[in-house]
A and B are shown apart, each in its own frame.
Chain A
Amino acid sequence: MHCNKNAIELRGLSYAYPDGTAALDNLSVTIRHTERVALLGPNGAGKSTLIGHLNGITQAQTGTVLIDDEPITPATLKSVRERVGIVFQDPDDMLFMTTIYDDVAFGPRNMGLTADTVDSRVQQTLAAVGLDALLQKPGMHLSFGQKKRAALASVLSMQPAILVLDEPTSNLDPRARRAMIDFLKQLDVTLLLATHDLDLAWELTSRALVLDAGHLVADGPTHDLMRDADLMRTHGLDTPPLATRP
């Protein structure tokens, strides 16, 4: 269905904060459907600002953001938000309803789906992330790992074609991190991962974009970029242990 369209296209995207600091500078990138792309860069590189542009949370000051070859405009905003799911870094920001069920149902209900469809999507999604036993619990009573999964479920229940994740494994213990990686591996969506977890990017993505100070400084196969120790070091990154193995 999507094979002839670009999932995400940025054309000359620039953004500056109100104090004048440039967060993104003339960024142009194209991501095809079903691609799995890592967004790498040091703190303050502009990763989160870029993510905010992908479903219109942040509006482009200069340049254009296209989703499925359609620019994001007030007229396309609703449909874009149904197609591009963003999972933010802090799950507490995403769990604002009184129960996990209502949090996961929030998106589908906003899409105007019938109660039965919403219920079936919530049940399916929570079962997929292993939280089906906790659906009536308030989000604040979950462990951090469970919150992360609940936040992911709250977006997956909308069945977006493009999934954007901001630091999906941050603050997770090794077991929860492994469970998250295994879960993400089997998702059949276009994936954009903003992360400092380079092993995660190595394992899950085939392409990487390196951002530094709002500039796109590298775009290429994940493994090739990560083996380039100079590139990684220059831009505040490190070579993951997996990349140094023969």
Chain B
Amino acid sequence: MKLSFDIRARLLSSLVLIIGIVCCPRPNLRAGIFALLGLLIIARLLGVGAATLAKRVGAVAVFALPIAAAAPLAHLSSLAAAADPGLPARIAACYRVYWPLAAVIAAKSLLSALTLAIAVANTPAPELLHGLEHLKLPRVFIMLAAFMTRFTGLFAAQLARMRQALASRAPNLGPWRRTVVYGRLGGNLFVRAYERGERVHAAMLSRGYTGSLPWPNHPRWQIKDTAALAFATLMAAAIALM
């Protein structure tokens, strides 16, 4: 059985869960495992594929894990007061003492990313934007999100075309040379994607677009949505207080 909820319920529930995860005061393995298992069960019930989740959490991990890994180094100066022989030893000492900080940042960010990925998986961008609009988010934010959604696809399509053109004329580029060429193409790519974005925008305007993407199913809040939000609140409280 695959459950479905109003996009507003999904967004609000994920927000509550993320607050619960972030508010967990200290390194707590039990709370982490509880949150992870709970989220995986929810993903299963919503019919969200593991590959989709892995891809989306992976995209966040690329940024979150280096930050988490570097976090103990923030305490380098506090350890410097102690009589340590040199920098490598101080860094090692930092990680010996503050590794839980790195683990907590990594766990919280990945669990938060997982929560959001579950909430918005299987949700077309227009429905998501429509949900945000119904949650009374500022219009400028919705507009920015809408344009980013559109621009990302255009950017990817433009990049694919340029890669094709490059591969057809320079099939034997080495990795370093390829990196240099891509670096030079960056600006060009941006301009091309921007121009295409302008043309798409003109096509949208000519079909009556006035700033909000039309979505056929006007969200209807139902009892099951309230139940989902209540469940998320309880789960968030449990994670935070465990």
Partners in one complex: yes
* Option from B196, B208, B214, B216 in Cβ contact (under 8 Å) with A82: B208
Contact A81 B208 (CB under 8 A): yes
Interface residues on chain B, size class: 20 to 34
Answer whether residue A96 sits at the interface, using C-beta atoms and an 8 A cutoff.
yes
Interface of B is mostly: helix
Contact B208 A78 (CB under 8 A): yes
* Option from A57, A90, A111, A115 in Cβ contact (under 8 Å) with B205: A57
Answer whether residue B125 sits at the interface, using C-beta atoms and an 8 A cutoff.
yes
Task: Mark out the residues of chain A between 158 and 175 whose CB falls within 8 Å of any chain B CB in the assembled complex.
Answer: 158
What's the minimum C-beta distance from B161 to chain A, rounded to whole angstroms? Answer: 10
CB within 8 Å of B: which residues of A?
52, 55-57, 78, 81-82, 84-86, 88, 90, 92-94, 96-98, 102, 105-107, 109-111, 115, 118, 140, 154-155, 158
Answer whether residue B126 sits at the interface, using C-beta atoms and an 8 A cutoff.
yes
Using CB atoms, name the residue of chain B closest to A55. B206
Contact A106 B202 (CB under 8 A): no
Interface of A is mostly: helix
Assembly CA distance A106 to B150 (angstroms): 15
Task: Report B-chain residues with C-beta under 8 Å of the C-beta of A94.
Answer: 200, 203
Task: Report A-chain residues with C-beta under 8 Å of the C-beta of B227.
Answer: none
* With contact pairs A90-B199, A93-B199, A97-B126 given, residues A155 and B207 touching in the complex (Cβ less than 8 Å): yes
Contact B205 A96 (CB under 8 A): no
Contact A110 B150 (CB under 8 A): no
Answer whether residue B210 sits at the interface, using C-beta atoms and an 8 A cutoff.
yes
Contact A98 B200 (CB under 8 A): no
| 9 further A-B pairs in the complex, CB-CB below 8 A; given A97-B126, A105-B216, A110-B214 | A55-B206, A84-B206, A85-B207, A86-B206, A88-B206, A96-B150, A106-B204, A106-B209, A155-B206
- What are 19 A-B contacts defined by CB distance under 8 Å? A82-B208, A85-B207, A88-B199, A88-B202, A93-B200, A93-B202, A93-B203, A94-B200, A98-B125, A98-B126, A105-B214, A105-B216, A106-B207, A106-B214, A109-B215, A110-B207, A110-B214, A118-B216, A155-B206
What's the minimum C-beta distance from A77 to chain B, rounded to whole angstroms? Answer: 9
Contact A154 B207 (CB under 8 A): yes
Task: Report B-chain residues with C-beta under 8 Å of the C-beta of A92.
Answer: 157, 196
Q: Which 8 residue pairs spanning A and B have beta carbons closest together? A: A110-B208, A109-B214, A107-B207, A93-B199, A94-B203, A86-B206, A57-B202, A93-B203
Contact B208 A107 (CB under 8 A): yes
Assembly CA distance A92 to B217 (angstroms): 26
Task: Report B-chain residues with C-beta under 8 Å of the C-beta of A111.
Answer: 208
Assembly CA distance A102 to B216 (angstroms): 9
- Residues 138-152 of B, flagged 1 when their CB comes within 8 A of A and 0 if not, give 000000000000100
What's the minimum C-beta distance from B197 to chain A, rounded to whole angstroms? Answer: 10
Contact B207 A52 (CB under 8 A): no
Task: Report A-chain residues with C-beta under 8 Å of the C-beta of B216.
Answer: 105, 109, 115, 118
Task: Report A-chain residues with C-beta under 8 Å of the C-beta of B88.
Answer: none
Assembly CA distance A76 to B209 (angstroms): 14
Contact A52 B202 (CB under 8 A): yes
Which of B150, B203, B204, B209 has most chain A Cβ within 10 Å?
B203
Task: Report A-chain residues with C-beta under 8 Å of the C-beta of B204.
Answer: 96, 106
Answer whether residue B124 sits at the interface, using C-beta atoms and an 8 A cutoff.
yes
